[in-house]
């Protein structure tokens, strides 16, 4: 069918006849005399009578890219290359691939409510105008349809660009932090001007005097010394189930995985299976989300000769199949910890918003809509483990990975020797992890001159970690407070190996994980 009329001027005779041709073609597929209206305002979301659809298409015009009438009985496969060209067919098949397809899943087609006729000159089929929220949605739809080079209206400044991002539901919250990483000015401390621990001002030093001078004036604006960016997790998890395809993939670890004893996915691991056996209610619903946390520092100004360390906290969705869970599009940015220095063990201070949200997702959950099964359910989530390098492991766990007790697997049984001439530690007890009858256990001349018949140390148990870190609770983790504590208690960390109790132990399910 010839559709060249869709590119003609809207008031032309060709366009007028083309709309009549469209209505004649699609009328047999109408149900009860109504069908989806493809005009630029209804955007295939509202059911209208056939004659109203004709009027709307004449007055407002049809969607620019709606070249395959897939919602009106036409199949994209049925179109031949001679009718519209092979490249056009490929483009047409993807008209509703992501954005509009998600809208149809989220907002199924509905009928406009009948409105009483108003006095005065009106059209034959009056329709109520859209409200403010609908107008905003229609504007976003129109912007999607328009090419960037055609009537493009780019944001004039950074503020307008951020407003567009917020309208899409991709915003974040700013939380002020102590410059020495002692605390967050959050919740009950939101109105404080200085840190209670180190007495450091919440504001930049060069702005503190200016703000005090202009206290009576509204022109003086104080600048925050350090800001944590927090991207709330709940709305991001809810959006995962708004697409039927992605919602189905989120249940792959139960419905699509081959359980034949071969390790292909974290769901095949002993840690995953042990957790499922302890929490049957959580594991009974495959839609409940399993998360992994990864964190590391990087220098965003790497091309410049400056020392800076910004720490993003990322979450990995392990519900997804292996070919999706590690893709960039599947990773969730949860926190952006500011620099210029590494937070060290004080990273727990910045993890508070995320950990609190994870507690709520475990205890209560959040209501979500599953587009694949067309039902509302209570979505819950848990943190399974962390993935990081050795220095970041020390910051997250609280175990010192330096000095004589650097091995977190051997813990206090770490076999280390200090080399006086090399001024570093050497770790010689690795033969304990070999099989009992391994030849290396008796090759004394190849190692330190002695045979090693010891057995491997027992792995750490969560209950023992809680007991060993009891004396570290309530201690400030800020830089200044840590320096003062180390001067008073020098050598205590070397004896115990712990510098703090990790904030993850405040999660109800953290003690039940095999990997802590």
Question: Which has the closest alpha carbon to 408: 505, 497, 511?
Answer: 497
Q: pTM for the whole thing? A: 0.70
Question: In the predicted model, is pLDDT for residue 291 greater than 80?
Answer: yes
Residue 382's CB: how many other CB atoms inside 10 A?
A: 21
How many helices (H) does the chain have, and how many strands (E)?
Answer: 20, 14
Between 206 and 179, name the one with better pLDDT: 179
Give the Cα separation of 508 and 356 in Å (integer): 11
Return the closest-CA partner of residue 269 out of 384, 418, 192, 346. 384
| pLDDT score, position 130 | 55
* Sign of the four-CA dihedral 257, 263, 266, 270: positive
| Nearest CA-CA partner of 320 in 361, 283, 285, 287 | 287
Query: Who wins on pLDDT, 40 or 359?
Result: 359
| Position 106 confidence tier, pLDDT thresholds 50, 70, 90 | low
* DSSP secondary structure of 372-417: TTTEEEEE-EEEEEEE--HHHHHHHH-B--SGGG--TTTGGG--EE
How does residue 92 score in pLDDT terms, banded at 50, 70 and 90? very low
User: Which one has a higher pLDDT value, 398 or 87?
Assistant: 398
Phi, psi at 47, each rounded to 5°? -80, 130
* pLDDT for the residue 110: 47
pLDDT at 463 > cutoff 70: yes
pLDDT at 303: 67
| pLDDT of amino acid 414 | 85
* Range scoring the smallest mean pLDDT among 176-190, 321-335, 488-502: 488-502
pLDDT at residue 339, rounded to an integer:
85
Dihedrals φ, ψ of 297, to 5°? Answer: -100, 150
Q: How confident is the model at residue 461, as a pLDDT?
A: 84
Q: What is the pLDDT of residues 143-159, one digit of tens each?
A: 655 555 555 567 778 88
DSSP string, 15-53: HHHHHHHHHHHHGGG-BTTEEE--BTTTTT-EEEEHHHH
The pLDDT of 315-337, averaged and rounded, is: 92
Tell me, what's the pLDDT at 357?
Answer: 95
């Amino acid at each position: 069918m010839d559709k060249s009329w869709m590119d003609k001027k809207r008031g032309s005779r060709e366009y007028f006849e083309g709309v009549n041709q469209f209505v004649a073609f699609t009328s047999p597929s109408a149900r009860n005399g109504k069908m989806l209206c493809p005009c630029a305002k209804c955007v295939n979301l509202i059911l209208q009578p056939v004659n109203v659809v004709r009027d709307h298409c004449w007055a407002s015009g049809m969607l620019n890219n709606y070249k395959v009438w897939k919602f009106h009985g036409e199949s994209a496969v049925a179109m031949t290359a001679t009718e519209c060209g092979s490249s056009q067919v490929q483009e047409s098949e993807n008209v509703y691939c992501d954005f509009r397809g998600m809208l149809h899943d989220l907002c199924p087609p509905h009928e406009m409510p009948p409105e009483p006729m108003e006095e005065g000159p009106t059209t034959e089929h009056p329709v109520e105008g859209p409200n403010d929220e609908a107008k905003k949605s229609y504007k976003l739809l129109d912007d999607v349809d328009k090419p960037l080079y055609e009537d493009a209206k780019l944001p004039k400044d950074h503020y307008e660009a951020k407003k567009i991002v917020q309208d899409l539901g991709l915003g974040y919250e700013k939380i002020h932090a102590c410059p020495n990483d002692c605390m967050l000015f959050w919740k009950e401390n939101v109105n404080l001007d200085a840190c209670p621990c180190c007495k450091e001002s919440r504001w930049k030093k060069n702005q503190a005097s200016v703000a005090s001078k202009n206290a009576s004036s509204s022109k003086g604006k104080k600048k925050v010394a350090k800001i944590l960016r927090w991207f709330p997790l709940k709305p991001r998890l809810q959006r995962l189930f708004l697409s039927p395809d992605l919602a189905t993939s989120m249940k792959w670890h139960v419905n699509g995985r081959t359980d034949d004893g071969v390790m292909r996915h974290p769901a095949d691991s002993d840690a995953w299976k042990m957790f499922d056996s302890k929490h049957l209610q959580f594991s009974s619903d495959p839609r409940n989300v399993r998360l992994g946390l990864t964190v590391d520092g990087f220098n965003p100004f790497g091309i410049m000769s400056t020392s800076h360390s910004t720490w993003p906290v990322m979450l990995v969705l392990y519900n997804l199949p292996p070919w999706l869970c590690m893709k960039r599009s599947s990773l969730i940015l949860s926190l952006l910890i500011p620099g210029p220095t590494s937070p060290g063990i004080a990273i727990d201070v910045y993890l508070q918003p995320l950990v609190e949200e994870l507690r709520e997702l475990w205890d209560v959950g959040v209501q979500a809509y599953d587009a694949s099964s067309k039902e509302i359910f209570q979505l819950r989530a848990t943190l399974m483990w962390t993935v990081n390098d050795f220095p970041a492991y020390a910051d997250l766990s609280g175990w010192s990975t330096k000095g004589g007790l650097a091995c977190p697997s051997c813990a206090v049984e770490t076999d280390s020797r200090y080399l006086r001439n090399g001024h570093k530690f050497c770790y010689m007890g690795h033969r304990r992890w070999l099989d009992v009858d391994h030849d290396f256990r008796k090759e004394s001349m190849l190692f330190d001159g002695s045979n090693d018949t010891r057995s491997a140390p027992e792995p750490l148990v969560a209950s023992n970690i809680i007991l060993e870190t009891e004396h570290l609770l309530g201690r400030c983790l800020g830089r200044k407070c840590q320096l003062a504590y180390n001067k008073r208690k020098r050598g205590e960390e070397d004896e115990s190996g712990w510098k703090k109790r990790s904030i993850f132990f405040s999660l109800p399910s953290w003690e039940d994980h095999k990997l802590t």
